[in-house]
Amino acid sequence: MKSIFFSQSAPTKNSREPQRSHRINHEIKIPEIRVIDSDGNMLGILPTREALKLAEERELDLVEIAPQAKPPVCKIIDFGKFSYEIQKKEKLAKKHQQQQLMKEIRFKWRTDTHDFNFKVRHAKDFLEDGNKVKASVMFRGREITHHEIGKELLERFVLDLQDIAKVDSPIKMEGKNLSVILSPAKSKKKS
């Protein structure tokens, strides 16, 4: 008869708990701290135990807000409200961030003039929308021996878009592709 043993592992931290960047209450191990009350008034440099007592009397938390300062700065506030305000600020900052996408336009080394002009118009639209454009010339098999033709094609592409774009990364070989990355010279167009 075989016996099976189950080992108990140490309890793991719940992955749904948010990671805190601020130490609160008894997590603060520094002997002396600079304390600010909930109204923003400076209470001075106090021993940590005294600051904790003060926070408990006011039924609030002692939150370390500037750990790099000498002595570290702590504030007596409601931690729930404090973390909510931080999340709100981060959400607002994220909302106002401008997202730039990378659009790719591919050419063959034998691309005709009409197709080239058509792709340049698409690139202009992408750049006017505030996106970056990666233009690449694909080579298959022995076509790689004609990379100078692909380079001329990309130089012409950059020249046609120089009034609305600037070169982010110069023309270079990436495997069997020759590519260049352009970014808009102006800000995003208004819709």
Task: Identify whether residues 87 and 44 lie together within a single domain.
Answer: yes
Question: Which of 69, 95, 121 is the last residue in one of the domains?
Answer: 95
State how many domains the chain has: 2
* Amino acid at residue number 69: A
Residue 70: CATH number of its domain: 3.10.20.80
Residue 12 lies in a domain: no
From residue 170, give the alpha-carbon distance in Å to each of 42, 153, 162: 54, 14, 13
pLDDT at 16: 47
Question: Which of 42, 71, 95 is the last residue in one of the domains?
Answer: 95
The tokens for 52 are 């904790």
pLDDT at 98: 67
pLDDT at 44: 84
pLDDT at 17: 47
Residue 3 lies in a domain: no
Task: Identify whether residues 117 and 168 lie together within a single domain.
Answer: yes
pTM above 0.85, yes or no: no
**Dist. CA 80–CA 11, nearest whole Å:** 26
pLDDT at 187: 56
Strands (E), the chain: 32-36, 42-47, 61-66, 73-77, 102-108, 132-138, 165-174, 177-184
Mean pLDDT of each 10-residue bin along the chain, 191 residues long? 47 50 78 85 85 86 84 87 88 76 86 89 89 90 84 90 88 88 71 45
Half-sphere exposure of 16 (CA within 13 A, CB side): 0
Task: Identify whether residues 90 and 107 lie together within a single domain.
Answer: no
The tokens for 152 are 């001329």
DSSP conformation letters of 25-58: GGG---SEEEEE-TTS-EEEEEEHHHHHHHHHHT
Parent domain of 36: 25-95
- Residue 22's Cα: distance from chain center in Å? 21
pLDDT at 134: 92
pLDDT at 27: 81
